[in-house]
């Protein structure tokens, strides 16, 4: 059986190409512009379900002069008792179809060659005479027509007005599908409307619907895993530096300089790891770096523009830290107890005990040695980790709600989403639950889990992998909860 053919038609600048971009998840299909009549030829695209072609979409030129075309068709019909489709076929063989109405003729030929037509409407427009004439012309094509109301998410939408008019011309299978603020239920209902009118060919649409739902579930799972890997890498990252508090003078000054250098190096490593995660998320969702910018969300061309370690960054995401975002923390309570009363001059018994400890664990043994040498560890504290987690969850939520035809970059605020990207959910750091922070705390005491320039890579460590998966499940729940709203 041949592919189900779907013609996408409508007046100029109603979002026909935008509809195809969003259905295909392809930001590069065709050309989207505010200029009228950008699409001059019919362009085809194939939608697949599970790797198998399901239906073929055809982007058509805009209907620029429907009023003149309807007058021409009525004049041709005259007093003859001809069906509308017969008059259309006669018109398409005329010289006018290749001259004055060349663009309209291309669109109508494609409708006649298709199984169904999607008539795209800018729901912000008033119902005008040109729209009534377009609907009349399409009604004469003897093909099922599904009106698709685009740009319905904004306050300027006249969807109710359009539904009332479409009912008057006996078009009741109306779908709302905003190509800028994407909604999976709207896409599902669009396919269902088409299936209602194409009962004999509904199997392809049913397969496509099921495949799209599975793709979205997989997209959320993959996004959660990417973020989890990044957070574990950063939480377990630690760098040694002089602890300070030693003798005054030149040595102390050199130690302070080394601490500052180590701190800046750690910050840069974290920024680069976060940037890599942003790029991976954009690629996964099939967007470009320029689709995200930093008017409200601290991103510029896919890079975080606001300093992750600045107090302003913490305030932006609702995090109130008592000190610097990256702090010099000692090895921990366990080692503090072990070292109580000990010094490098401790006797043989203590030395043997220390040697036994070092033989038990390579990771903590090295940290133990560093402590004895007067070194401390620099790492990201909870405040920084909350910023990292919260704003990337906000980004994932925004990408899930973003249509691939949107011409405006995603702009996210700390408490949600501004224009151009749909709802991203609360972006304050306080929405990161204790379950997430608890898993990150586990990573903080295992610096060998970080793959960021670690002495020995432990990506294959089963305990690390278990924590990554648990954290991904927590992130998944946060994202799914928002996606279901």
pLDDT value, residue 38: 52
Same domain for 477 and 351, yes or no, is: yes
Q: How many domains does the chain have?
A: 2
> Given 3-state DSSP classes, what are the helix, strand and coil percentages for the chain, each rounded to the nearest 5?
50, 15, 35
Give CA separation, 278 vs 97, 372, 409, in Å. 50, 39, 15
Residue 257: inside a domain: yes
Q: Are residues 184 and 303 in the same domain?
A: no
CB atoms near residue 295 (< 10 Å):
16
Q: Are residues 433 and 336 in the same domain?
A: yes
Q: Is the pTM of this model over 0.75?
A: yes
Query: In the listed set 137, 162, 197, which residue is the last one of a domain according to the structure?
Result: 197
pLDDT recorded at residue 314: 57
**Helix H or strand E segment including 46:** strand 43-49
Task: Tell me how far apart the alpha carbons of residues 468 and 325 are, in angstroms, rounded to a whole number.
Answer: 23
Shared domain for 317 and 459, answered yes or no, is yes
CA distance 300 to 67: 46
Looking at the structure, tell me whether residues 61 and 126 fall in a common domain. yes
Beta-sheet strands, E only, within 154-278: 175-176, 239-242
Out of 162, 197, 232, pick the residue that ends a domain.
197
pLDDT tens digits, 383-436: 888 888 988 898 899 899 988 877 777 654 443 333 334 433 444 456 789 999
In a domain, residue 156? The reply is: yes
Distances in whole angstroms, Cα of residue 427 to Cα of each of 87, 178, 434, 484: 58, 24, 16, 17
Same domain? For 151 and 243 the reply is no
Domain identity same for 113 and 232 = no
In a domain, 164, yes or no: yes
Instruction: Quote the pLDDT of residue 421.
Output: 41
- In which residue ranges of the chain is pLDDT below 50? 32-37, 246, 294-306, 321-362, 412-428
The rounded distance, in Å, linking the Cα atoms of 63 and 107 is 8
210 in a domain, yes or no?
Answer: no
Domain extent for 46? 4-197
Provide the b/e sequence for 306-332 (b: ≥16 CB within 10 Å). bebbeeebbebbbbebeebbbbbeebe
Tokens representing 190 are 């669009």
Query: Is residue 109 domain-resident?
Result: yes
In our burial notation (b when 16+ CB lie closer than 10 A, e otherwise), range 433-459 reads eeebbebbebbbbbbbbbbbebeeebe
Residue 14 lies in a domain: yes
Quick one: 148 and 110 in the same domain?
A: yes
Evaluate whether 483 touches 400 at the Cβ level (below 8 Å): yes
Angle between helices 129-139 and 159-168 (to 10 degrees): 50
- Tell whether 186 and 286 lie within a shared domain: no
209 located within any domain: no
CA–CA distance, 319 with 428 (Å, rounded to integer): 7
Under 8 Å between Cβ of 87 and 73: yes
Co-location of 14 and 111 in the same domain: yes
Residue 309 sits in the same domain as residue 421: yes
Let me know whether 342 and 417 are in one domain. yes
The pLDDT value given to residue 457: 55
* Residue 202 placed within a domain: no
């Amino acid at each position: 059986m041949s592919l189900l053919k779907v013609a996408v038609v409508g007046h100029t600048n109603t979002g026909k190409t935008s509809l195809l971009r969003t259905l295909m998840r392809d930001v590069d299909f065709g050309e989207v512009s505010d200029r009228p009549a950008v699409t001059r030829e019919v362009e085809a695209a194939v939608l697949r379900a599970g790797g198998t072609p399901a239906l073929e979409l055809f982007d058509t030129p805009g209907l620029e002069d429907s009023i003149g075309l309807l007058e021409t068709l009525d004049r041709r019909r005259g007093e003859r008792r001809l069906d509308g489709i017969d008059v259309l076929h006669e018109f398409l063989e005329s010289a006018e179809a290749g001259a004055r109405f060349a663009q309209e003729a291309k669109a109508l030929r494609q409708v006649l060659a298709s199984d169904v037509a999607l008539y795209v409407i800018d729901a912000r427009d008033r119902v005008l005479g040109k729209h009534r004439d377009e609907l009349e012309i399409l009604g004469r094509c003897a093909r099922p027509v599904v009106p698709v109301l685009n740009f319905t998410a904004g306050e300027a939408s006249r969807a109710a007005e359009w539904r009332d008019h479409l009912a008057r011309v006996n078009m009741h299978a109306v779908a709302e599908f905003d190509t800028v603020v994407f909604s999976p239920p709207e896409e599902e209902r669009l396919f269902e409307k088409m299936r209602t009118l194409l009962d004999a060919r509904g199997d392809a649409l049913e397969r496509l619907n099921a495949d799209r739902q599975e793709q979205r579930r997989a997209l959320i799972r993959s996004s959660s895993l990417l973020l989890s890997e990044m957070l574990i890498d950063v939480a377990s990252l630690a760098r040694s530096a002089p602890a300070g508090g030693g003798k005054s003078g030149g040595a102390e000054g050199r130690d302070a300089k080394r601490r500052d250098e180590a701190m800046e190096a750690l910050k840069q490593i974290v920024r680069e790891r976060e940037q890599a995660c942003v790029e991976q998320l954009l690629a996964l969702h099939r967007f470009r770096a320029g689709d995200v910018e930093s008017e409200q969300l601290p991103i510029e061309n896919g890079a975080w523009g606001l300093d992750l370690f600045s107090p302003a960054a913490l305030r932006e995401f609702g995090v109130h830290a008592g000190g610097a975002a990256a702090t010099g923390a000692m090895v921990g309570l366990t080692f503090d107890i072990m070292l109580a009363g000990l010094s490098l001059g401790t006797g043989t018994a203590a030395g043997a005990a220390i040697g036994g400890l070092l033989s038990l664990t390579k990771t903590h043994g090295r940290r133990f040695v560093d402590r004895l040498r007067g070194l401390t560890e620099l790492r990201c504290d909870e405040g920084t980790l909350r910023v990292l987690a919260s704003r990337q969850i906000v980004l994932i939520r925004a990408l899930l709600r973003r249509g691939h035809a949107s011409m405006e970059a995603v702009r996210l605020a700390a408490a949600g989403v501004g224009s151009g990207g749909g709802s991203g959910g609360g972006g304050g750091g306080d929405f990161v639950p204790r379950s997430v922070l608890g898993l990150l705390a586990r990573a903080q005491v295992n610096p060998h889990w970080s793959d960021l320039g670690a002495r020995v890579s432990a990506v294959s460590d089963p305990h690390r992998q278990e924590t990554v998966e648990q954290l991904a499940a927590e992130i998944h729940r946060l994202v799914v909860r928002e996606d279901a709203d």
